[in-house]
Chain A
Amino acid sequence: NAGVTQTPKFQVLKTGQSMTLQCAQDMNHEYMSWYRQDPGMGLRLIHYSVGAGITDQGEVPNGYNVSRSTTEDFPLRLLSAAPSQTSVYFCASRPKETQYFGPGTRLLVL
């Protein structure tokens, strides 16, 4: 049982490049979400999903897209990276109450 996994661990992008942050969970959780963690701002919700085929926006969705074609995977797409998206990104999943977090992806946008 790997829990919540994220790839890559670290990524450097140039402004305007696109990329996908991968998130997978093997616990058959319906709920999954993406957060970004910035100094002094805590964790802010980007997008979330309550099941396959269902996604919704969180607090800071602009510049990010998500899809949920399977229960296991919840990728986060940056269509045109900006320096303001430099952050640590955490994926999380949960059955009912407790969120299980992935190890995070550190993204640097130059």
Chain B
Amino acid sequence: AQRVTQPEKLLSVFKGAPVELKCNYSYSGSPELFWYVQYSRQRLQLLLRHISRESIKGFTADLNKGETSFHLKKPFAQEEDSAMYYCALGVTGGGNKLTFGTGTQLKVEL
């Protein structure tokens, strides 16, 4: 069975500091990895997906199959980055099923 682990419930950084939100997954097949973000009292929205290899709002994430990781990084945190971040794993041929991690609350302090 697939599993997503986000080891940090809360990550607090100062504005301008680098950010790394950790995500590890467990899946024997070919994974699809996503990062979703939820700003306060808003709906979840897609931030990144590994297949597109893009940078959104300064965030990047690289899939490391050897370490089964998909960590989210940003070189300089901004106050507006404060939100809940979820890593999610989609399985090949899994239809609509995504497995989410428990989320990491990022707090950017001034």
Binding site for B on A (CB under 8 A): 31-33, 35, 40-45, 48-50, 56, 58, 90, 92, 94, 97-99, 101-104
Contact = CB atoms under 8 A, between A and B. Distances in A.
A90 B100 CA distance: 13
A97 B97 CA distance: 10
Given A50-B96, A97-B90, A99-B98, A40 B9 contact: yes
B98 A45 contact: yes
B17 interface: no
Given A42-B102, A43-B44, A48-B97, 13 more contacts: A31-B95, A31-B96, A33-B97, A43-B88, A45-B99, A50-B95, A56-B95, A98-B46, A99-B36, A99-B46, A101-B44, A102-B43, A103-B43
Given A40-B9, A101-B44, A48 B101 contact: no
Contacts of B86: 42-43
Contacts of A97: 32, 49, 51, 90
B49 A90 contact: no
A49 B96 contact: yes
A92 B98 CA distance: 11
